[in-house]
Structure 1
Amino acid sequence: MFVPNQLVVYPAQGVGRVEKVESQTIGGSAAAEFYIVRILSNNVTLMVPVKNATNVGLRAVCSAEKGNSILQSLADRSDFTGYTGQNWNRRYREYSEKLKSGELADVAYVLKELLLIGKDKELSFGERRLLEQAMGLITLELAHALDREQAAVQSEIEAMFADVLEAQEKN
C-alpha cells in the first residue's frame, strides 16, 4: 500500500508522487480505490487501481543501496558482448519491452547496451529515443534514491561512458 506523498515508479513513465488515494465509481460498477499519481518529469496524472497496482508494475523508488548497485553495474562492461549485428528492429522491440517492465536493472541494461553499441555504429533514430528515455528514467530514479540532483547523476553516468560518447560524436 502506497501513501500520499510517497515517491513511486510507474513503468516507462518514471518517478511519480502519490497525491492521494481516492474511491471512484467508474462505468457504473462498484466503487474502487485508486492511487492518483503525478509523474514528476511531465506532470501527467495517472489513476492506478489499488488492487491492480502490482500487476501494472507500480513500485516504490529503489533504495540508496540498490541505486549504488545500479551505478556499479553500469560501470562494469565485462558483461557486454559487443555489437552482434542484430537487426535494429528486433533490438528496438527487445529494449522497448525492457523499458516497459519498470525494472530498474532492465532499464540500466538498455542504457548500457545502447551507449556501448553506439560506440561501434550509429544508432537509429528509434534507438536514440530509447537511449534518451532510458537515461531519463535511470537518472531521475537514482537522483531520488541517492538524494542527488538528476543532472549530477547524469554527469556521473556520462563520465563512465566518456570514451563511448566521444566516439559517437566523431561518427
Structure 2
Amino acid sequence: MTKARKTLDFSPNDFVVYPAHGVGRIIKIEEQEVAGLNLELFVISFEKDKMTLRVPTNKATEVGMRPLSDPAVVSKALDTLKGKARVKRAMWSRRAQEYEQKINSGDLIAIAEVVRDLHRADDQREQSYSERQLYEAALERLTRELAVVKGIDESGAGAQLVEVLSKRVAAA
C-alpha cells in the first residue's frame, strides 16, 4: 500500500517527470468515469509539446512518474557529462535501443550518460541522423529538468550544459 500513498504527494502546480515525456506540470487532479469505474487522475501538461496527459493517481508510481530530481542528483548528472564517453562496440541498432531505453527511463543520470556518449565536438566525425535524434532528445530532457530544478530558463540551462560538454572536450 505504500506505493499508492506515495502518489498522493503530488499536487496541482507541481512539476513531475513522466519517463516517456520528460518534465510536465500537474494542472489538476480530476475524477472521471471510465468503463463504469470512477478514477482519480493527475492531469499533466507538457507545454512545450502542446500535450496533456491523464494518469490514474494509483498508477503514477507504477508508470515511473517521479518528482523532479533534487540538486544533488542534478549535480551528479552534470559530473556524468564531464566523464569520458563510453561507447560499446555493439551494432548501432542495439546501442540505439539502449540509448532510447535510458532516455525513456526518466533517470536523469542515465539521460546524462546518453548526452555524454553521443556528444560530438566540431572536429569529430559527423553524427548519423538517428544518433543526432537521440542526442537531441536526451539533451532536451536534461535541459528541461535542469532548468526547472535550478529555476532558470531553458536557454540558460542549455548554455550551462554546452559549457560543461565543451570543457570536457577541451580536456580530452
TM-score (norm 1): 0.85
Aligned residue number for residue 19 of structure 2? 11
C-alpha distance in 1, partners of 2:18/2:88? 31
2:48 alignment partner, SS class: coil
CA contact (8 A) 1:116 1:164 kept: no
C-alpha distance in 2, partners of 1:48/1:118? 42
Counterpart residue identity of residue 139, structure 1: T
Confirm or deny that 1:56 pairs with 2:63.
Answer: yes
Give the number of aligned pairs.
162
* Percent identity of paired positions between Structure 1 and Structure 2: 31
Aligned residue number for residue 97 of structure 2? 93
1:41 alignment partner, SS class: helix
> Cα 1:84–1:116, aligned 2, differ >3 Å: closer, same or farther?
farther
C-alpha distance in 1, partners of 2:17/2:47? 10
Counterpart residue identity of residue 49, structure 1: P
Given the alignment, which residue of 27, 30, 41 partners 2:37?
30
Deviation, 1:152, is 1.6
1:46 alignment partner, SS class: strand
CA contact (8 A) 1:9 1:58 kept: yes
> Could you say what the CA RMSD is over the residues aligned between the two structures, in angstroms?
2.3
CA contact (8 A) 1:139 1:150 kept: yes
Mark the runs of 5 or more structure 2 residues left unpaired by the alignment: 1-7
C-alpha distance in 1, partners of 2:61/2:28? 17
Deviation, 1:121, is 4.0
2:143 alignment partner, SS class: helix
Mark the runs of 5 or more structure 1 residues left unpaired by the alignment: 167-171
Aligned residue number for residue 132 of structure 2? 128
